[in-house]
């Protein structure tokens, strides 16, 4: 159990706040503590007297968290505003539980002040409680009681009759009426436990409502803490070391992701924190995982059950790979049978039947979903479920919902309608990219472009400081889930392999590799030392080979095809004076791309080359001696160089990193599905480099 939750309400911070601002203040404090509610879970409301924009009269407005979003981060625009009297009047239109799904279609007619935010299906829980402030939360400690065999009796014991008990019922209009009835029967109630679901409570001020949330949840925590801990029956398999766990997951990921992505590609997430490891490695994990997760909010994101895999302390990833097909087939068959058994004539079609969450004893919990945030949240939901199971197993024992009820939530037509309203996915969503030289000019621009198209990206670079800055910049733009970094030296085989292992641990697979780490050097051939020659060949030719080979291996094992983009140079095609080592290495990269294209075609792995020329802006190459040397070679000042290249080009244009990134994105995506072994010059036109 998690210890007492301390108040984070500071009176001085709330001076002068309006009722609705106080609602936001309270909601942020409730939502940012995962012990009080899970991500996206629960909702809060306030009933506020406001001037009607139409009549100027003061009316009661229900501010209630809108559909979707998360109370920790939602602002006022995340809340629906409804005329309270109109919502209450819906009772006259309500035709009984069989028809309650028609009510949400009427909420837009209750909208106050043209607010476009859609009201959630939990709106009646708030409307029918005659207190000014209402919170509906999913606290682990309360759900432990709500899911335990003798939860109702324990509710009386813990809160001494101040908290009611409402038997399991899907959220909606009728649940709102039930809560009102409980309150009418016992006006002293401070809240109700909703069986297999969560808590609802109320008060007449925002602060009192917040304090009540803490008091009720803390009472549950304190009660549970007095029960003996059970450690889920103790370990069945001992946890492997951090390095062993990561190596295991990386070795498993390509084959696992390939199979889980049969219908749609997925992005992975690993949680091997102590509490997760203890649970998945425990004696009771098998029994508890089979009961399924703990809160209706989870079902859409995690599916009702995880796939728990039988592993002992010595099972190798290869041994598990050999068992993957029957394991996944078994899960899919079970999930399909659940859908068949529970569906109604109008139920939505079977969704992707593969597991979202996998529990690997001794290793951790791996989840795969449509993007990194969904995969992470699925695993966070399971962490909530582990807390709930921990609590419920201290007394009475954990009980899940009957399959038919879980199904009615997972395949709820109202949820299906929400899924259908989601914006279309971007061209590279569900794709995992690795970019070498990702901290450099062209590498970072390419990463940004792939991220804009919806991919997630791991940047690899030898320059740790530049890498930190690049990742911070991109994470700010695209969110912390979308980008990761690894320090790697492309010349070193072990370092390259570790970087690819990293992308497999962080994102669970690999679809796109952009080989871009590089440098440039200039010297007449007689002055080209062996050291300089080797430096160019090591970073460029060998570096591209090492990363290309490792990416190729992973893509082939995944069986989902892939796209490798080689950033070579105009100099791969056209020789430049006084740069023999660089030009030769660039030609080697181009030819390497063709060789990989040949071998990759049978596996759907496409390999194409982009040839930039004279990208001065943003490039670190052009900040060093290369710039001086080039300026000297053409007999111009360094400041004139950009102009010189512009004039030299056929199109009379400068080339920028974003221009190169555009070509990278095209080769990365499906629009170039029919191209491999190809090349695209991004050089503003240079007849020496015309391909032939």
Ligand X SMILES: NC(=O)c1ccc[n+]([C@@H]2O[C@H](COP(=O)([O-])OP(=O)(O)OC[C@H]3O[C@@H](n4cnc5c(N)ncnc54)[C@H](O)[C@@H]3O)[C@@H](O)[C@H]2O)c1
Q: Which residues bind ligand X (CB under 6 A)?
A: 437, 439-443, 461-463, 466, 488-491, 516-520, 539, 543, 567, 569, 612-615, 619-622
Closest contact distance (angstroms) between CB of 253 and ligand X is 23
Q: Are strands 432-436 and 58-65 parallel, antiparallel or unpaired?
A: unpaired
Closest contact distance (angstroms) between CB of 441 and ligand X is 4
Sheet containing 133-137: order of strands: 79-83, 58-65, 43-51, 133-137, 198-203, 191-194, 163-166
Binds 496: which of Zn ion, ligand X, none (CB < 5-8 Å by kind): none
| Residue 147 three-state SS | coil
Catalytic option among 398, 544, 582, 645: 582
> Can you tell me which residue has the tokens 């998360």?
70
| 270 versus 466: smaller Cβ distance to ligand X | 466
Closest contact distance (angstroms) between CB of 567 and ligand X is 4
Residue 609 neighbours by CB distance under 10 Å? 29
* Residues paired with residue 357 on neighbouring β-strands, in sequence order: 367
CA distance 443 to 460: 9
Closest contact distance (angstroms) between CB of 4 and Zn ion is 23
* Residues paired with residue 194 on neighbouring β-strands, in sequence order: 166, 198
Closest contact distance (angstroms) between CB of 199 and Zn ion is 9
Closest contact distance (angstroms) between CB of 138 and Zn ion is 6
| 455 versus 488: smaller Cβ distance to ligand X | 488
* Residues paired with residue 51 on neighbouring β-strands, in sequence order: 58
Closest contact distance (angstroms) between CB of 687 and ligand X is 17
How is residue 339 written in tokens? 């859908």
Binds 261: which of ligand X, Zn ion, none (CB < 5-8 Å by kind): none
Residue of 276, 497, 451 whose CA lies nearest to 367: 276
Binds 613: which of ligand X, Zn ion, none (CB < 5-8 Å by kind): ligand X
Residue of 488, 478, 362, 344 whose CA lies nearest to 412: 344
Binds 82: which of Zn ion, ligand X, none (CB < 5-8 Å by kind): none
How is residue 5 written in tokens? 């939750």
| 198 versus 437: smaller Cβ distance to Zn ion | 198
Binds 466: which of ligand X, Zn ion, none (CB < 5-8 Å by kind): ligand X
| 365 versus 564: smaller Cβ distance to ligand X | 564
- Binding region for Zn ion (CB under 5 A) out of 51-59, 195-203, 213-221, 229-237: 195-203
Residues 134-153 that bind Zn ion (CB under 5 A): none
- Answer whether 107's CB lies under 8 Å from 118's CB: yes
Closest contact distance (angstroms) between CB of 496 and ligand X is 9
| 383 versus 567: smaller Cβ distance to ligand X | 567
Q: Using CB atoms within 10 A of its CB, is residue 488 exposed (0-12), middle (13-18) or buried (19+)? A: buried
Contact letters (x/-) for Zn ion, 197-236, by CB under 5 A?
A: -x--------------------------------------
- Answer whether 5's CB lies under 8 Å from 36's CB: yes
CA distance 417 to 68: 13
| 90 versus 451: smaller Cβ distance to ligand X | 451
CA distance 471 to 458: 9
Alpha carbon distances (Å) from 290 to 149, 159, 294: 16, 31, 12
- Answer whether 577's CB lies under 8 Å from 633's CB: yes
Closest contact distance (angstroms) between CB of 486 and ligand X is 10
| 198 versus 508: smaller Cβ distance to Zn ion | 198
Binds 463: which of Zn ion, ligand X, none (CB < 5-8 Å by kind): ligand X
Alpha carbon distances (Å) from 501 to 68, 458, 550, 551: 35, 11, 10, 10
Task: Give the residue nearest to Zn ion (CB).
Answer: 198
How is residue 1 written in tokens? 């159990």
Asked about 544 being catalytic, the answer comes back as no
CA distance 119 to 319: 50
- Binding region for Zn ion (CB under 5 A) out of 193-201, 367-375, 402-410, 597-605: 193-201
Q: Using CB atoms within 10 A of its CB, is residue 559 exposed (0-12), middle (13-18) or buried (19+)? A: middle
How is residue 240 written in tokens? 């492997």
Binds 555: which of Zn ion, ligand X, none (CB < 5-8 Å by kind): none
Residue 89 DSSP class: H
**Which run of H or of E encompasses 658?**
helix 657-668
- Binding region for Zn ion (CB under 5 A) out of 191-199, 316-324, 373-381, 404-412: 191-199
Q: DSSP letters along 488-517, please? A: --TT-HHHHHHHHHHHHHHHS--SEEEE--
- Answer whether 411's CB lies under 8 Å from 348's CB: yes
| 239 versus 445: smaller Cβ distance to ligand X | 445
Binds 31: which of Zn ion, ligand X, none (CB < 5-8 Å by kind): none
Residue 647 neighbours by CB distance under 10 Å? 9
Closest contact distance (angstroms) between CB of 673 and ligand X is 25
Q: How many CA atoms lie within 13 A of 656 on its CB side?
A: 5
| 150 versus 688: smaller Cβ distance to ligand X | 688
| 295 versus 607: smaller Cβ distance to Zn ion | 295
Task: Give the residue nearest to ligand X (CB).
Answer: 440
Interaction site with Zn ion (CB under 5 A):
198
Catalytic positions: 582
């Amino acid at each position: 159990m998690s210890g007492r939750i301390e108040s984070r309400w500071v009176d001085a911070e709330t001076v002068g706040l309006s009722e609705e601002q106080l609602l936001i203040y309270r909601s942020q404090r409730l939502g940012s503590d995962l012990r009080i509610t899970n991500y996206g879970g629960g909702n809060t409301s306030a009933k506020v007297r406001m001037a009607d924009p139409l009549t100027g009269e003061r009316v009661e407005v229900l501010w209630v968290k809108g559909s979707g979003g998360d109370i920790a981060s939602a602002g006022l625009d995340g809340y629906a505003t409804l005329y309270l009297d109109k919502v209450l009047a819906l009772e006259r239109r309500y035709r009984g539980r069989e028809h309650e799904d028609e009510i949400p279609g009427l909420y837009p007619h209750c909208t106050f002040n043209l607010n476009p935010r859609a009201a959630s299906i939990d709106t009646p829980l708030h409307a029918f409680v005659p207190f000014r402030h209402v919170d509906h939360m999913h606290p682990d400690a309360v759900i432990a009681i709500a899911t335990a065999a003798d939860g109702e009796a324990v509710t009386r014991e813990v809160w001494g009759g101040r908290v009611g008990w409402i038997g399991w019922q899907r959220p909606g209009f009728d649940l709102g009426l039930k809560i009102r009835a409980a309150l009418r029967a016992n006006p002293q109630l401070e809240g109700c436990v909703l069986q297999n679901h969560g808590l609802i409570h109320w008060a007449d001020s925002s602060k009192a409502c917040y304090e009540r949330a803490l008091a009720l949840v803390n009472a549950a925590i304190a009660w549970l803490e007095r029960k003996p801990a059970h450690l889920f029956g103790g370990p069945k398999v001992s946890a492997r070391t951090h390095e062993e766990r990561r190596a295991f997951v990386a070795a498993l990921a390509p084959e696992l992701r390939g199979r889980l992505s049969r219908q749609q590609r997925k992005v992975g997430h690993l949680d091997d924190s102590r509490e997760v490891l203890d649970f998945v490695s425990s004696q009771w994990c098998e029994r508890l995982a089979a009961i399924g997760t703990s809160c209706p909010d989870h079902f859409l994101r995690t599916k009702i059950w995880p796939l728990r895999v039988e592993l002992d302390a010595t099972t190798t990833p290869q041994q598990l790979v050999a068992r993957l097909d029957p394991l996944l087939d078994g899960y899919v068959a079970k999930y399909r049978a659940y859908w068949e058994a529970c569906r109604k004539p109008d139920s939505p079609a079977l969704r992707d039947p593969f597991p979202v969450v996998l529990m690997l004893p001794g290793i951790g919990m791996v989840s795969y979903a449509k993007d990194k945030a969904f995969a992470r949240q699925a695993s966070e939901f399971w962490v909530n479920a582990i807390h709930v199971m921990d609590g419920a197993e201290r007394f009475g024992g954990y009980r899940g919902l009957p399959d038919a009820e879980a199904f009615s939530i997972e395949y709820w037509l109202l949820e299906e309608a929400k899924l259908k309203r989601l914006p279309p996915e971007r061209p590279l969503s569900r794709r995992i990219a690795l970019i070498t030289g990702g901290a450099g000019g062209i590498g970072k621009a390419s990463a940004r472009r792939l991220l804009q198209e919806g991919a997630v990206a791991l940047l690899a670079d030898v320059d740790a400081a530049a890498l930190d800055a690049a990742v911070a910049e991109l994470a700010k733009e695209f969110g912390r889930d979308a980008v990761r970094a690894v320090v790697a030296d492309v010349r070193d085989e072990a370092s390259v392999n570790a970087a690819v292992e990293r992308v497999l641990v962080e994102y669970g697979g690999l679809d796109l590799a952009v080989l871009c780490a590089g440098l440039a050097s200039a010297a007449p051939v007689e002055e080209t030392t062996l050291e300089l020659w080797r430096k160019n060949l090591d970073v460029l030719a060998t570096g591209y080979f090492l990363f290309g080979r490792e990416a190729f291996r992973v893509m082939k094992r995944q069986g989902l095809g892939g796209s490798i983009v080689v950033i070579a140079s105009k100099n791969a095609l056209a020789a430049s004076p006084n740069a023999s080592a660089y030009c030769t290495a660039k030609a080697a990269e181009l030819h390497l791309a063709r060789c990989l294209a040949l071998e990759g075609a049978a596996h759907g792995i496409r390999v194409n080359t982009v040839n930039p020329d004279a990208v001065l802006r943003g490039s670190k190459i052009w900040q060093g001696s290369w710039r001086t040397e080039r300026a000297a070679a053409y007999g111009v000042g360094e400041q004139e160089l950009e102009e010189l290249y512009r004039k030299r080009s056929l199109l009379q244009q400068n080339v920028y990193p974003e221009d190169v990134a555009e070509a990278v994105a095209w080769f990365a995506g499906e629009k170039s599905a029919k191209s491999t072994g190809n090349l695209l010059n991004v050089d503003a036109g240079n007849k020496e480099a015309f391909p032939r």
